A and B are shown apart, each in its own frame.
Chain A
Amino acid sequence: MRLGNHIRRLRFEHDEMSQQDLADAVGVTRQTIFSIEKGKFVPSALLAFKIARFFDKSVEEVFYIIDDQ
């Protein structure tokens, strides 16, 4: 079971925002945003909520579960 996300799409929908800008907005490093988008790092609940709130979305609209088949 893995965590997928729509962060990259949402960034581009927000005036093609860079990973660095999103990182600055939610208080993490750019590498963390990069790793989350790639699915290499699972954010904490707090960070997930921060990212969702930044995009004015619910957490379920930003993140989703990928069932391993």
Chain B
Amino acid sequence: MSSMSRRHSAVLAAALLSACCLIFILFQVNANLVEAINICRTAFGLLDWSIGLAHLYVLCFHIFAILFLLSRRIVNERLKTFNSVLLVFALLSLFAMGVEKVMVDEVAREYRLGSDISELDILNLAYLFNLAFAALLCYFVLKIKKTGAGKSGRDSALDERIFIVAQYMGLVSGLLGLLLTFDLIGKEMAASRLWIYIPFYLLCTIPYMLAVLYWLSLKLRQRIAEWYDEKQFQDILKSSLSTLLLSVPGLAIAVFAGISSALYMFLYYLFLVLLLFSGGTLYFFKLRDID
């Protein structure tokens, strides 16, 4: 069995296991709600550990699946479109896991208050979305195994794709982080309570972190001098200078807008810089050369 075939089989097995975990979680949440999400806040038992590990596995599976989809070089046009759609689906499914966390807390809170737990429907929908993604990935892997269309593109074309994808993900993460920060400022959330939103900030940075981690996993095998070609180096330098210059008026806007808390200023600056750098790199590398 070739290494590519082994890789496909591993992805298939991982997707099937993820589907089993999700079915297990769905069953427990619907048949055994109080114990499944530990509403009574008792000490962790076997069920809690099982459900926790199942969630952790599903999260890791999503990250693995996204990296797998990013690494595919598909020759067949129809499968290439399917690959792209599945990648977007994967990111949304990952986001749904964040929704699940929020809904679990809401359901537990509502249950304790004796209120209607309609959020359980949203929780079930989120799990079903994850299950649908696992099923679609199985179908996709079976398709490319059958057609032999999926090569792992370990060449400059893959490097370039990952480089561009990382910049797009940087734009997405930067924008999401800024929107979340502005939303919290608008709600006048006290800076001391911002720690509650750390998981949401992590979710905002996940697209960028995944792309960068995958790029690093490819590049670690090479010498640092070979990580970028000369044009990429030049474009990154230009983007860095642009980011430095544009961050000054960006910070001025924050001061005039009345952001006084140091923590909010840090979050605002972090995601502003990410947005400017990724956007600048994308512009200089790709968009500026288009007539």
Contacts and interface: CB of A to CB of B under 8 A. Distances in A.
Interface SS, B side: helix
A32 B160 CA distance: 10
A30 B157 contact: yes
Contacts of A44: 230
A31 B164 CA distance: 11
A8 to B, nearest CB: 14
A24 B230 CA distance: 14
B17 to A, nearest CB: 37
Given A38-B289, A38-B291, A40-B288, A32 B157 contact: no
B192 interface: no
A17 interface: no
B288 to A, nearest CB: 7
B289 A35 contact: yes
B156 A23 contact: yes
B155 A32 contact: no
B215 interface: no
A44 B234 CA distance: 11
B159 interface: yes
B109 interface: no
Interface in A1-40: 20, 23-24, 27-32, 34-35, 38, 40
B231 interface: yes
Given A24-B155, A41-B289, A35 B231 contact: yes
Given A41-B231, A43-B230, A47-B230, A28 B156 contact: yes
Given A35-B231, A47-B230, A29 B159 contact: yes
Give the residue among B155, B157, B163, B289 with the most A Cβ atoms within 10 A: B289
B286 interface: yes
B240 interface: no
A29 B163 contact: yes
B232 interface: yes
Interface of B: 155-157, 159-160, 163, 226, 229-232, 234, 285-286, 288-289, 291
13 contacts: A20-B156, A23-B156, A24-B155, A24-B156, A29-B159, A29-B160, A29-B231, A29-B232, A30-B157, A31-B160, A32-B230, A32-B232, A38-B291
Pairs A-B, 4 closest by C-beta atoms = A28-B229, A32-B231, A29-B160, A40-B289
